[in-house]
Structure formats: C-alpha cells, structure tokens
Copies of this chain bind each other. A is one copy, B any other.
Amino acid sequence: MVAVTKMKDPQISELLNFAHTLADLAAGAIMPYFRRRIAVTNKMSDGGFDPVTSADRAAERAIRKAIAATYPEHGIIGEEFAAAPGSGRYHWLIDPIDGTRAFITGSPLWGTLIGLTRDGQPLVGVMSQPFTGERFWADTRRGRWRGPDGKTRTLRTRSCPKLSEAVMTSTHPDLFTGADAQAFAALKSRVRMTRFGGDCYGYCMLATGFVDLVVEAGLKPYDVMALIPIIQSAGGVITTWDGKPATDGGRIVAAGDRGLHAEALAVLSARR
C-alpha cells in the first residue's frame, strides 16, 4: 500500500486572518499616496483614460510577495501584473484600489479588494478602506464590518421587495452603452433614488443595509470576487444581469432582498 501524502487544507479562519494581513499590507503601501499630488499614468494604448497609480502597483506587489511566501501553491489573479496560476485549489483575486478614479479625486469611496476562491468558488472576501478606517469581511457563513470607531458589527441587508422603494447605486452612468444603457435607464426610472459613485463601496453599503440595489457593467472577476461572500453572507443576492453566477464579472446586479433581485432582473432583461 502506497502512502498518499495530501496537502492539508488550511482552516477558513486562518485564510480569513491572512486576507486581513494582506489588506493591512495594501493599506501600508497605498496610504502614503492618497491625497498626495501623484503622477497618474495611462495604461491604455488607445488613449482612453484608465489611471493607474503607483499606489496600486506597490500594493499589488506587497500582496503577491506575501501570498508567495505563505501559500506558494496558491494562484494569484490581480489587476496590475500577470496571473500566477498556482498548483492547488486556492486562488486569490485582488484589486488593490478598486475605484482608482475616486482615489485620484481624493474621495474615500475606493477600497482594497481581497477575494479567495477554492475550486473556483468564493470562500473569503475582504474590502478595506484605510482612509476612513473601515473594513468589511466575510466567509461563506457570516460577514462583519468595522468602522472608524473600531466596533465590529454583523453585516445584514435590509428588506426591500419593491423597486419603487429601492435605493440603487452605480459607479457611473457612462458604464452602460447601447441596449445596456436603455435597460439601466428603465431600472433607474423605477427605483426611488439612484446615487452614482462608489465602486466597491456601494456593495458594502448594500451589505450593511443602507442600499438596496447595485447595478454595474464591465466588471472583472477581481472587481467582484471579494464582494460575493460579503453580500451573500449578509443575506443578499449577487449575479450577472442574466442571473448567472457573478464569479466571472461582467454585468452585475446585487440586491439586499431576494424579491427585489428578481424584479430588477425582469426589468433588465425585458429591455434587451
């Protein structure tokens, strides 16, 4: 009989603690650049405006180094550097500054996103806002958040089954083009109030029960992976506009209330 040595899976609590450590490392790398007059380089060759700050790259480097040192078999997918495929069940999806445009305007509505998948499924998520001192985190069972006062509270979405009573957020009206823009406009005309600006911050306000609906388009997997456990553990639903898993990014709709999510999907699909 041949002994098969199987690498023991880490405890989820250990992985969540490590995700917090990564968020701390990112904060240390990023904060020296926030509200400093820094150069904004343009990474798109076609002349479009997609700022990447030195902070973004410094944070991703620090995060990648720590993962490689602690869990060398884990894969890493980030915004700034090439993916490291890894050799195991675990993959980290990281966006050091989700909301770079908010960042460069001095707004605190950006965050560091740290997501971890096991066999492709979201396992742990952390959103960190180091300027305000806020952090939101979850595993598949429960979510928590902490504000500037240092108190830890449970994430819980609020009940809001009707579109006519819903508060919706989206990062920018220009996220949507063509038929998607028409679908978004139809939804916007049905809700009580829409606020723009927010990136990951809007999803966290949904998980704390102050926003009912977040609708976006053009997201990458690392823009959304960390947010999936944060929203699901709080009682919310997050999918694509077609009702498919949000794990691949794209057009995303998150709702704090299951009935509201169904209503939003119906409006978004009727116009396409």
**Which A residues have a C-beta under 8 Å from some C-beta of B?**
35, 37, 49, 101-102, 104-109, 131-133, 147-148, 158, 167, 169, 172-173, 192-193, 195-198, 201, 205, 208-211
Contact = CB atoms under 8 A, between A and B. Distances in A.
Given A132-B148, A193-B101, A107 B49 contact: no
A252 B208 CA distance: 34
The binding surface of chain A is classed by DSSP as loop
A102 B158 contact: no
Contact of A35 (B109, B201, B210): B210
Contacts of A158: 37
| Pairs of residues from A and B, 6 with the lowest C-beta to C-beta distance, nearest first | A197-B197, A106-B210, A196-B196, A106-B205, A132-B132, A105-B210
Contacts of A105: 167, 169, 195, 205, 210-211
A195 B108 contact: no
Contact of A49 (B102, B172, B192, B198): B192
Nearest to A192: B49
Contacts of A104: 167, 210
